[in-house]
A = this chain, B = another copy of it.
């Protein structure tokens, strides 16, 4: 029932719970305990209960959580109860991968258009517009888009970010391997595949005694 703003660590787990609930509901399961959610997610049951308790008391003591009810609550908490409009900027392989990916899965979002400096006509898929950059301001305005996925080369990233912010984008999922700077109030989430790969390699050698031993 606490009403202070949720910690980052909690927010990161909410979409995980949502996905599990979607799966449970698909299997016609009506009620789930924190213990079962723990088995599915790998988080501890206490942690799950505490996470949910940041936003309210959604469970029934002795029984568990109603899957439909909890999903609805989570959708509302995350902000997915209304479909979120998104644009993809940079329509290379990664941009394509992300649009396909999302077209397939129900992830409560709608990619309204993709942009590229050099859009290839025939690569548009199932109703997705692939447009030249010049149309970006128009689309953002007309569709009232607030969220953008950025998959342009590192060199172009900052320039494009400035354009996005200028036209009203407030949240950016950045795949360009570079630090971008934004004004106060704009939220950026960086996903850097190279860094993640290198981190993985660290752990792949962790055991070996030679790892860092002279």
Give the B-binding residues of A (Cβ under 8 A). Answer: 5, 11-12, 14-16, 18-19, 40-42, 55, 76-80, 84, 86, 92-94, 96-98, 100-102, 105, 107-109, 146-147, 149, 170-173, 177, 179, 185, 187, 189, 191, 193-207, 211-212
Contact = CB atoms under 8 A, between A and B. Distances in A.
Classify the interface of chain A: helix, strand, loop or mixed: helix
Question: How many protomers of this protein does the assembly include?
Answer: 2
A202 B11 contact: yes
Contacts of A97: 92-94, 96-97
Given A96-B93, A195-B19, A201 B78 contact: yes
Nearest to A149: B197
Given A19-B195, A93-B97, A200 B173 contact: yes
Given A187-B203, A212-B55, A109 B197 contact: yes
A200 B189 contact: yes
25 contacts: A11-B203, A14-B198, A14-B202, A15-B198, A18-B198, A19-B194, A77-B202, A78-B201, A79-B202, A80-B198, A86-B197, A93-B100, A94-B94, A94-B97, A98-B193, A107-B198, A149-B197, A171-B201, A171-B204, A173-B196, A173-B200, A185-B207, A187-B200, A189-B196, A191-B196
Contacts of A98: 193
Given A42-B179, A94-B101, A199-B15, A147 B194 contact: no
